[in-house]
Amino acid sequence: VVIRKKAPTAAAKKDEKVVNAARRAGAEIESVKKSNAGTNRAASSSTSLNTRKLDEETENLAHDRVPTELKKAVMHARVEKKLTQAQLAQLINEKPQIIQEYESGKAIPNQQIIGKLERALGAKLRGKK
């Protein structure tokens, strides 16, 4: 006598023996083929429209760098005030690396930092002199 029997799990329902038994009994069987079934590829590995556009893009983009006039003006004003790069950085509450990048021309211009430099050095670095 069976008092209670567990319902078959999802894995058991998909088992080949269960499917064959259902076919013999005449039950309806639905089979669905998955698009990437049996492959070792992720669904996102195919090239989409956006990736194709990016691949076809030929324009080289680069960040703006500090112009030579600005880097010379910063260096000249700092030397006139008899400050080192580290002292100037401390005055404007920035890292000494920032001053070094501005004077070497490698920095990406930031208007806030340029404003701090203008105030600390007492020189106009932007616009017409």
| pLDDT, position 113 | 93
Would 41 be classed as within a structural domain? Answer: no
Checking if the pLDDT of 36 tops 70, the result is: no
| pLDDT, position 47 | 57
Averaged pLDDT for residues 14-34: 77
Whether residue 71 contacts residue 125, with contact meaning beta carbons closer than 8 Å, is answered with: no
**Range(s) of the domain holding residue 115:** 68-121
Specify the number of domains making up the chain. 1
State the Cα–Cα distance between residues 69 and 125, nearest whole angstrom.
Answer: 9
Averaged pLDDT for residues 97-116: 92
Would 127 be classed as within a structural domain? Answer: no
Read off the pLDDT of residues 50-74 as tens digits, 9 standing for 90 and up: 777 777 777 777 778 889 999 999 9
Checking if the pLDDT of 95 tops 80, the result is: yes
38 or 20, which is more confident? Answer: 20
Would 18 be classed as within a structural domain? Answer: no
- For the entire predicted model, the pTM comes to 0.52
Would 90 be classed as within a structural domain? Answer: yes
**Nearest of 107, 102, 106, 95 to residue 77 by alpha carbon:** 102
Would 106 be classed as within a structural domain? Answer: yes
| pLDDT, position 44 | 54
Averaged pLDDT for residues 85-109: 93
Would 81 be classed as within a structural domain? Answer: yes
Would 72 be classed as within a structural domain? Answer: yes
Looking up residue 114, the CATH number of its domain turns out to be 1.10.260.40
Would 26 be classed as within a structural domain? Answer: no
State the Cα–Cα distance between residues 21 and 118, nearest whole angstrom.
Answer: 85
